[in-house]
Structure 1
């Protein structure tokens, strides 16, 4: 009788909340990998650093090999990170066996890194690595990821007079510029980040002399249009890093179009005499964002809550609002008006849809924006938040505290 594929099951996930964004994924590895003629064992895809990965384990005559693979490679995109594999010993953590790889650069040409001779099979059998269930407990730590897309854009041909015919693109009219000046638009190929496709576009202002020229730069998302997103990124132009934007933060609307920004130099000056311009984009983070309207007084709607990670529908004036995450799971955000300070309660209304014998890890953050007051968002206390959910009939709700007095919130 044939068996189905043997999997390495993800059983625990931990964020270390350090400056390297270290995360630990713990897998249960079937003990049958110690037997002869066992096929390679793989995990399901998981996400780290806004990219998809999986791990695999290969048995040879004497050793078990362990490998990490980038499952979402894009042409021109390189992901550099540190990672380690650790087999947990039942007796004491000092008897664990590990290996560490630093500054590994994953790309379409090199999407797998690891070690063929991670640990000897004889050691696993003799040194008490097998758990009581007969499985192996294995931790994969990933940290310090940098996702950098790089391409070379060919410059438009220069006219003999030194001026360049084209359109003058303005940040206030970027939707029109994308069509009116299409012939002069310089666009990169697509690359994958945060489970969406992206590109970068340059709009040269060729209507003036090169010395007075400028270029507008625009980031665009081409998939996942059902929600806003908050993105952090950095752009470097030129072979020697002639222009470096530093870290940028933007909210992209549901069309996926970001607000362009202007560089006070022509593409020809940035390229320094070359026929192509080197473009680097470092993607740092992206989260889905929804706006839901809640009221601190049931009959008056005067505050707006912005939730990172959930997509919502507006319910002006209500003390609760329905939200949907990017997996189309339903939530309810409710204002709690029973105390001295405003509190919120988040309910996972689709908790009964979590598959049996599985748990679902969800992370989110919330910012409060007043309709009539200061436009600067105010963070809730103790965020960002996360929780494991398992299947049950109803969710008791997650309480989110704020330092906003109810009297101040409900006053006109």
Structure 2
């Protein structure tokens, strides 16, 4: 088996996600069995890791589970086998903007490592080893030929919903209008980020980044290309880039009263209640179905929250995001959840006054929750597997400290040489060479800006 052990989002420009898997000995000791991990989500697509064993080597593949005709997904990914001895002995392979499509849903290497090397350097006494998968710069593109009389696309699977792009007009004086429509998830609101493009080459018209709230009926605001576009008899190429789609839940939470209940994408129940026992209003978030978390597992959940204004003024945002968002927490199987407290900028004394912009009729606060990542992780407590990452972290710190000490020593030598050269030039009566950056002592130069360390 390949068990998803830990998941980390680095929150960098490339939106890098790092997944760590604990791979059991069944991968290497059962030659007739191909092992595949359970599905996991990254950048709103479903993925899995598959292993293929030959007589003397082991292959590793990244598998795209959300195959959709007309869709292409591009990914930067890196597989790394974690060494038991030293992080510099880690081995792996990577790919830049690797394309996944309906005819090729798995990408990887058939001979990643020999079985002898795997057992000697990476596997422990139980025959288990750790595999790290890094994924970044994930792009989802969908293309289709719009041709009369059918002016909408087939269903597009993305982020757990089915979507379609519908076209109207484009004939005579009526301008062409495109609209992204959600076909599934009736009654569910979501925030969608996407972009549309029509045509090819020099005649291509791009919408630029679009972001909107998709209502409970699945509708989004229409996009009208500028300049106006006319549908040709031979059809037109439509390109859709899907960036993200996150489910929303809106709750009316009484300022003084019972908790409001909602459900996340996995149909798990949550409760939200107001806490007015401090200077500012706080929202107490409780996971009601915490007892449903499988035994010996952790459930990681992240979300963002907003306070919705009752009557926003022109030019005023409809909702105000809570400070500290996004929120995240790990949940193990418990009889009850103690909850997580979310601070707001709304003062308690302001809620009791008339004219509070966030107080809705009935003395309620309207809270909008946006669900983000959720993972079910193996091993609910600290384990010996964590020692490996801690060992690597300490080794890296020592390596960096040694490099910093070496850099400081070289800078001191350089400063000494410059000082000797200036003294020799002064004795010979030559003008000293001016330093553009100014002369600094070794202590001042110990933090060099010329070298960056990770």
The match for 1:164 is none
What's the offset of the Cα at 1:242?
A: 2.3
What root-mean-square deviation, in Å, do the aligned CA atoms of Structure 1 and Structure 2 show?
1.8
1:293-317 per-residue CA deviation (whole Å, 9 max, x = no partner) reads 1244x2xxxxxxxxxxxxxxxxxxx
- Residues 155 and 267 in structure 1, CA contact (< 8 A), matched pair in contact too: no
The match for 1:290 is 249
Which of the two has greater strand per residue? 1
1:131-181 per-residue CA deviation (whole Å, 9 max, x = no partner) reads 35431111111110000100111146xxxxxxxxxxxxxxxxxxxxxxxxx
What's the offset of the Cα at 1:373?
A: 5.0
What's the offset of the Cα at 1:37?
A: 2.5
1:218 is the counterpart of 2:212: no
Give me the TM-score of the superposition, normalised by structure 1.
0.81
- 1:125 is paired with a residue whose SS is helix
What's the offset of the Cα at 1:260?
A: 1.6
- Residues 75 and 138 in structure 2, CA contact (< 8 A), matched pair in contact too: yes
- 1:21 is paired with a residue whose SS is coil
| Alpha-carbon separation, structure 2, partners of 1:357 and 1:22 | 27
| Alpha-carbon separation, structure 2, partners of 1:279 and 1:225 | 26
Out of 232, 237, 248, the residue aligned to residue 210 of structure 2 is 248
The match for 2:224 is 262
Structure 1 segments of 4 or more deviating over 6 A? none
| Alpha-carbon separation, structure 2, partners of 1:38 and 1:136 | 20
Give me the TM-score of the superposition, normalised by structure 2.
0.74
The match for 1:231 is 192
| Alpha-carbon separation, structure 1, partners of 2:86 and 2:234 | 61
What's the offset of the Cα at 1:207?
A: 4.8
Which of the two has greater helix per residue? 2
Out of 10, 18, 21, the residue aligned to residue 27 of structure 1 is 21
| Structure 1: segments with no counterpart, 5+ residues | 1-6, 157-184, 299-317
The match for 2:380 is none
| Structure 2: segments with no counterpart, 5+ residues | 355-454
| Alpha-carbon separation, structure 2, partners of 1:348 and 1:86 | 35
What's the offset of the Cα at 1:401?
A: 1.4
Between the two proteins, the alignment pairs up a number of residues equal to: 350
- Residues 302 and 327 in structure 2, CA contact (< 8 A), matched pair in contact too: yes
1:339 is the counterpart of 2:304: no
| Alpha-carbon separation, structure 2, partners of 1:230 and 1:79 | 21
Out of 137, 147, 170, the residue aligned to residue 144 of structure 1 is 137
| Alpha-carbon separation, structure 2, partners of 1:224 and 1:401 | 31
1:190 is the counterpart of 2:135: no
> Highest CA radius of gyration, 1 or 2?
2
- Residues 55 and 67 in structure 1, CA contact (< 8 A), matched pair in contact too: yes
| Alpha-carbon separation, structure 1, partners of 2:222 and 2:193 | 14
